Structure 1
C-alpha cells in the first residue's frame, strides 16, 4: 500500500504505524486526544485497543488539508471494507490532539 501521497511527515509516520499495527501509533497523539467516529465522540485508546493491528488502509485515494486529511479504502476488521476519512488535528507541539474518522462518500 503506497503512502507516498501523504505530504505531512508526522501523519505519514502515524499511518505507517497504523498499517503495521505498531503501538508507536499512540506516540503521535497527546495523552487523551479527542476522537469522533462518524460524528460520534469515542474514546481514542479504547477504540484503537481493538482496531490497532486489525484495521488498516487498503489504499490512499486522496490527501487534503496540507496532508492532514486522508481518504481511502479501509479494512475495518469484522465491519468489512469501505471508503473512509481520517482527519488529524495537530497542536502547537506537533502532536495530534484530535482525530476525526468516518465513512466518506
Structure 2
C-alpha cells in the first residue's frame, strides 16, 4: 500500500512539472485557483506577444462587469448552465474581436 502511494505521488509530480515548466513566470507570484488562471493568461499573452491588448481587454470587461448590473446578474445567475454562458462568451469574444488569449 505504501509503495502505491509513493508511486502515485511521484507520477503526479512528473505529470505536472512539464506543464509548469512551459509557463512563463509572472512578475508577482500568485497562488490558488485564481493564481493558476492568472498565470496561464499571463503566460499565453506573453508567448503571443499580446500582453498589453489582453490587459486592456480584461480591464474593459472588469469595468463593464462592475457598471452593468445585467451583465453581472447574468454571470452570477446559478440557474444558467455553464455551457450556455461559455457559448455566449465565445460569441461576445468574436463580436468584440478579442485576442485568442483573452477569448480563451
Normalization by structure 2: what TM-score?
Answer: 0.25
Choose 1 or 2 for highest CA Rg. 2
